[in-house]
A and B are shown apart, each in its own frame.
Chain A
């Protein structure tokens, strides 16, 4: 192995320190026995125990997961449909306007999105709760899904769909049996992206949540305002663990598929030679 130059070593250390030092400190203090967050008083899992008994946090966590699953699923359906129309619909009246507008929420300040949704929900007399958060999250995450899916559709060989039609498929069958299975990885990444966005959204959720439903980020934020409790450190550590496992699994699966595909291609080339 080649030795790295001192410059590379420093860059790497600095970069990782910036990224992970805060989280490492958080994880360490979640095992602190003391009630005071900044004073180390020995190792303990006490706060994890207390967390499990904290119904308010557990309720909020449950709401968050429900909202994330529903809103990311809805956003994936709508975002995929929008992407399909934008890439495949050819030229139609208002196409440029539509394609410009679908990306607007990407750059719109969250406060404005949240406020306008709040006004809408009050205007149509919808009680704020899980439903309104789901709708709000769908609204802002579907544009992320459509960006991901449309970038895949642009490179999609159109003749595959034509072949499906030629072999007797209706338009819907061609989409269901050919297009969707092939673009599935992009659709799944879109879903995961929407899911993550919904999980950690605070601003929009705080505009659109009501007394009947509070998400975890709101709960944590309001708890922190009364002082950082070690319980929150424990909760955050669990969330970090979940995300880490998820990311590692996803990248392992991707890598394994890539390796397998490459092996297949090589085998095919050998068979040909």
Chain B
């Protein structure tokens, strides 16, 4: 059985749909986007992720045409769109506030963009009905935006921005206004719609869980720069910096000095009076170089007895337990005062009752469990 993996970014023959080339955007003295280069491919569901003020919204507004580029160029299907006004771009946007026209019905909201293209009436009717069906809003066509619920409004906004069949759809925090349960359902709905229409989606979000769920690739941004672009799994398992490791999910960071002990293996001296930690990595570190070991809590085992075969095992005592229902996170304090988080799945109903506050425990992990980072 051959299954083709969707990964156009690994194929050198693929032409990107969007290409940022050394793009810089300044607002007066403030540099919002700093010499940024990025390719986004057709049919991708691309997420821009970062804290507020990192420049992700500016990037989206430059794609939509609401901001001009200070330096560099943005290409859409090989053409420079830096100075094309928003109404002349094959790009549509779904706004964070939805920006539904309050004086028009749901039907007229969706038809708005089609009417601007001077399409025939039958064409508009057919397309609007198709969009209403896609977003399961058939019954609400005649309602005004204030007569429907928040989730329905979100779907109207989506239908309106998809109606013109854009090459690229921009979504600015599309699920930000929905409550958690509805947000999760809508994430899958978005993915289905993206797949069935084959449109390229670029989503801006500050919610890392949302980005991981929906996106084919995630770009983590900070202060106008892209720190890492990778698939959700690679971003999580192989972060390229402490910043990314810390931003996505929960992580323990151990600062240490590296000493090579063999091919790809290093001994990490991290604190006086503790044995060095063993770690494997493909990155080369020189003897005595500063390194940061990032380990996810779920990759650390916790036990009452010293495990027999573990590359790294440390003793400590339980400081805190966070019970999340499906998971429990243990905060284990080491003799030196550092706190390491270890996570276990509560697979049994009375799981881990044997470990409680103040208990002496062993935490252990393998040589490959963590990622050794330079910065």
* Contact assessment for A159 and B147 in the assembled complex, using a CB-CB cutoff below 8 Å: no
Q: Complex: how many Å from CA A16 to CA B362?
A: 84
What distance in Å separates the Cβ of A170 from its nearest Cβ neighbour in chain B?
6
* Contact assessment for B87 and A160 in the assembled complex, using a CB-CB cutoff below 8 Å: no
With contacts A264-B144, A267-B147, A268-B149 taken as known, whether A163 is within 8 angstroms of B116 at the C-beta atoms is no
Residues of B within 8 A of A264 (CB): 144, 146-147
- The answer to the question of A59 belonging to the interface, with a C-beta cut-off of 8 Å to chain B, is no
- The answer to the question of A220 belonging to the interface, with a C-beta cut-off of 8 Å to chain B, is no
Q: Complex: how many Å from CA A168 to CA B114?
A: 9
Residues of B within 8 A of A170 (CB): 87
* Contact assessment for B164 and A162 in the assembled complex, using a CB-CB cutoff below 8 Å: no
* Contact assessment for A272 and B164 in the assembled complex, using a CB-CB cutoff below 8 Å: no
Q: Complex: how many Å from CA A162 to CA B99?
A: 9
- The answer to the question of B102 belonging to the interface, with a C-beta cut-off of 8 Å to chain A, is yes
* Contact assessment for B151 and A272 in the assembled complex, using a CB-CB cutoff below 8 Å: yes
What distance in Å separates the Cβ of A162 from its nearest Cβ neighbour in chain B?
6
- The answer to the question of B353 belonging to the interface, with a C-beta cut-off of 8 Å to chain A, is no
In which size bucket is the chain A interface? 20 to 34
* Contact assessment for A271 and B148 in the assembled complex, using a CB-CB cutoff below 8 Å: yes
Q: Pick the contact of A157 from B64, B92, B97, B150 — CB < 8 Å?
A: B97
Closest to A165 in B: B86
Residues of B within 8 A of A157 (CB): 97, 99
* Contact assessment for A162 and B66 in the assembled complex, using a CB-CB cutoff below 8 Å: yes
* Contact assessment for A168 and B99 in the assembled complex, using a CB-CB cutoff below 8 Å: no
- The answer to the question of A178 belonging to the interface, with a C-beta cut-off of 8 Å to chain B, is yes
Q: Tell me the chain A residues, 214-273 only, with Cβ under 8 Å from chain B.
A: 261, 264-265, 267-269, 271-272
With contacts A166-B86, A267-B147 taken as known, whether A160 is within 8 angstroms of B101 at the C-beta atoms is yes
Q: Tell me the chain B residues, 71-115 only, with Cβ under 8 Å from chain A.
A: 85-87, 91-93, 95-97, 99, 101-103, 112-113
Residues of B within 8 A of A173 (CB): 116
What distance in Å separates the Cβ of B265 from its nearest Cβ neighbour in chain A?
54
- The answer to the question of A169 belonging to the interface, with a C-beta cut-off of 8 Å to chain B, is yes
Q: Complex: how many Å from CA A264 to CA B102?
A: 13
Residues of A within 8 A of B309 (CB): none
* Contact assessment for B117 and A268 in the assembled complex, using a CB-CB cutoff below 8 Å: no
Q: Complex: how many Å from CA A269 to CA B151?
A: 11
* Contact assessment for A178 and B148 in the assembled complex, using a CB-CB cutoff below 8 Å: no
What distance in Å separates the Cβ of A182 from its nearest Cβ neighbour in chain B?
6
Residues of A within 8 A of B (CB): 157, 159-160, 162-170, 173, 177-178, 181-182, 261, 264-265, 267-269, 271-272
| New A-B contacts (10) at CB < 8 Å, excluding given A164-B101, A168-B113, A272-B149 | A159-B95, A163-B160, A167-B112, A168-B117, A261-B146, A265-B146, A265-B147, A268-B148, A268-B149, A272-B150
18 contacts between A and B (CB under 8 A): A162-B86, A162-B95, A163-B101, A164-B101, A166-B91, A166-B93, A167-B87, A167-B113, A168-B164, A182-B102, A265-B146, A267-B147, A268-B146, A268-B147, A268-B148, A272-B149, A272-B151, A272-B152
